[in-house]
Amino acid sequence: MFLDLDGFKLINDSLGHEQGDKLLVAFAERIAPLFHPGDTLARLGGDEFTLLLDNITNHHSLAIPERIQQALETPFHLGELEFSVSASIGIVMQPEPELGAEEILRDADTAMYRAKAQGRGQYVMFDPTMHNQALQRFQLEIELKKAIERQEFVVFYQPIVDLVNGGLVGFEALVRWQHPTQGLVLPDYFIPLAEKTGLIITIGREVLLAACQQAKSWQDKFDNQQKLLISVNLAVPQLLSSHIMDEIDQILQQSGLPPATLKLEVTESGIMENIETALDVLSAIRERSITLSIDDFGTGYSSLSYLHRFPFDTLKVDRSFVIEMEKDSKNLEIIRGIVGLAHNLEKKVIVEGIETETQLALVKNLGCEYGQGYLFAKPLPAKEAEKLLRSPRLFF
Ligand code: C2E
Ligand code: MG
Ligand code: MG
């Protein structure tokens, strides 16, 4: 078993390493009595422990993590302070005889990461498909790097519609990967890994440049489109990278796009997790007259007490609320609440994922300013999007 304490870094960072060390000792002392002579409990490093149990049955093996979690239910005391600590546990049962210690540890570690992903205090049994998934992730990372070199990313444009008059306000730029063998790959497949590995910084820069250049060329080419808005997603690693403002400035200069026609979309969890740095960058963005939108609003764990400190202009209501809206009037009330909140803060609301006439009628009725969704148009290649500018029409 591979054990890793949840949230240990926070304790170390906030109380200092000495307190952290004490907690590790207390943790080991707490769980050691659960095992039999002949079992081995070891600290690998940091807050990582491993546990080697001999001669146990499948049934028994699951009793152990249960007992560990139970033992951790009582809080720890360090001086005056009280802590609740949980551990994420990965388990490998009766590994193949040909596997060496390192491979067994690797598999237990993989299972432990899976447990972490499920939240605090979980345990997960390793199965070989996890190893395949780890390999696939590694493969995907290599492919992503190649894709960057070969410039295989393309930007699609989804119309953003004015819900008062049905007119086109602008587009959201959404990246796609023109894969050499798999065809067009959607971002949900590669953005999470690109964020984890930092590759999103390069990909995001390319997308921002392409989108700004495209928007500028449309503004110049078509009458009455000088204010055409382009909305671009900004991932957390981009937001936190030290060069982000230089890059934005350079792209604005290179494309000639008026900053007031650029909108950047940031997720609420991205801001909340790094509040101080994020606030600095967001104000720097705002100083340039670029506008800001909080994306996927309602799905993260925003602290409402922080909301008024964010210099944003638009709240983007997540699609999940819209899907549920017709089925359950409570979701409609949630959107109504979000709209009220936004309007009281003098912000505008954009609703994404509008797919039906009923949904459109409902969100219009709530006073949302903008909408986006398949009902109007799917994300389109630049050429298709351009047709909407060449022969403008109302979306409803
Ligand atoms: P998002 O920023 O919330 O973008 C909206 C997503 O909802 C898009 O998915 C869009 O195609 C989809 N959508 C819009 N209207 C509808 C609808 O009516 N029905 C349904 N079912 N879906 C709708 P897409 O293009 O697959 O992008 C998914 C996510 O990937 C985006 O969510 C965004 O978080 C991320 N992403 C896309 N492009 C970029 C990028 O250039 N940079 C970064 N950092 N993230 C990106
Ligand atoms: Mg977005
Ligand atoms: Mg969204």
Q: pLDDT tens across 94-128, in order?
A: 777 888 889 999 999 999 988 988 888 999 999 98
Interval between CA 325 and ligand 1 midpoint (Å): 20
The burial of 310, by beta-carbon neighbours within 10 Å (0-12 exposed, 13-18 middle, 19 or more buried), is given as: buried
Interval between CA 54 and ligand 2 midpoint (Å): 51
For residue 187, which atom of ligand 1 is closest to its CA? 30
* Exposure string over 170-186, b if 16+ CB within 10 A, otherwise e: bbbbbbbbeeeeeeebe
For residue 156, which atom of ligand 1 is closest to its CA? 25
Ligand nearest to the CA of 173: 1
Per-residue confidence (pLDDT) for residue 301, from 0 to 100:
59
Per-residue confidence (pLDDT) for residue 273, from 0 to 100:
73
- Please check whether residue 2 is in contact with residue 86, taking contact to mean a CB–CB distance below 8 angstroms: no
Cα–Cα distance between 7 and 24 in angstroms, integer?
Answer: 12
Q: Are strands 87-91 and 123-125 parallel, antiparallel or unpaired?
A: parallel
- Please check whether residue 53 is in contact with residue 35, taking contact to mean a CB–CB distance below 8 angstroms: yes
Ligand nearest to the CA of 378: 1
Nearest 5°: phi and psi at 254?
-65, -40
Per-residue confidence (pLDDT) for residue 8, from 0 to 100:
84
For residue 374, which atom of ligand 1 is closest to its CA? 18
pLDDT, tens digit (0-9, with 9 covering 90-100), for 270-310: 787 778 889 999 999 999 999 999 998 887 656 677 788 88
Ligand nearest to the CA of 373: 1
Per-residue confidence (pLDDT) for residue 308, from 0 to 100:
82
User: Ligand 1, atom 13: nearest CA belongs to which residue?
Assistant: 353
User: Ligand 1, atom 43: nearest CA belongs to which residue?
Assistant: 233
Cα–Cα distance between 244 and 241 in angstroms, integer?
Answer: 6
User: Ligand 1, atom 41: nearest CA belongs to which residue?
Assistant: 175
As a whole number of Å, the CA-based R_g of the chain is 25
* Exposure string over 104-126, b if 16+ CB within 10 A, otherwise e: bbbbbbbbbbbbbeeeebbbbbb
Q: Are strands 291-297 and 314-317 parallel, antiparallel or unpaired?
A: parallel
Least Cα distance to 200 among 145, 276, 151 occurs for 145
Cα–Cα distance between 372 and 357 in angstroms, integer?
Answer: 13
- Please check whether residue 279 is in contact with residue 309, taking contact to mean a CB–CB distance below 8 angstroms: yes
Protein residues whose CB sits closer than 6 Å to any atom of ligand 1: 158, 174-175, 186-188, 191, 200, 204, 207, 233, 235, 265, 295-296, 319, 352-355, 372-374, 379
Whole-model pTM? 0.79
List of the chain residues with pLDDT < 50: none
Interval between CA 233 and ligand 3 midpoint (Å): 9
Cα–Cα distance between 340 and 157 in angstroms, integer?
Answer: 29
Least Cα distance to 22 among 36, 34, 11 occurs for 11
Per-residue confidence (pLDDT) for residue 1, from 0 to 100:
94
Joined together, the tokens standing for residue 145 give 């790097």
* Exposure string over 316-348, b if 16+ CB within 10 A, otherwise e: bbbbebbeebeeeeebbebbbebbeebeeeebb
- Please check whether residue 297 is in contact with residue 338, taking contact to mean a CB–CB distance below 8 angstroms: yes
- Please check whether residue 177 is in contact with residue 200, taking contact to mean a CB–CB distance below 8 angstroms: no
Per-residue confidence (pLDDT) for residue 298, from 0 to 100:
80
Cα–Cα distance between 88 and 133 in angstroms, integer?
Answer: 20
Interval between CA 341 and ligand 1 midpoint (Å): 24
Place of tokens 């909340």: 272
Per-residue confidence (pLDDT) for residue 256, from 0 to 100:
98
Cα–Cα distance between 316 and 348 in angstroms, integer?
Answer: 9
User: Ligand 1, atom 4: nearest CA belongs to which residue?
Assistant: 174
Identify which of 174, 193, 206, 208 to mutate to test ligand 1's pocket (most ligand atoms within 8 A of the CB). Answer: 174
Interval between CA 315 and ligand 2 midpoint (Å): 11
- Please check whether residue 130 is in contact with residue 111, taking contact to mean a CB–CB distance below 8 angstroms: yes
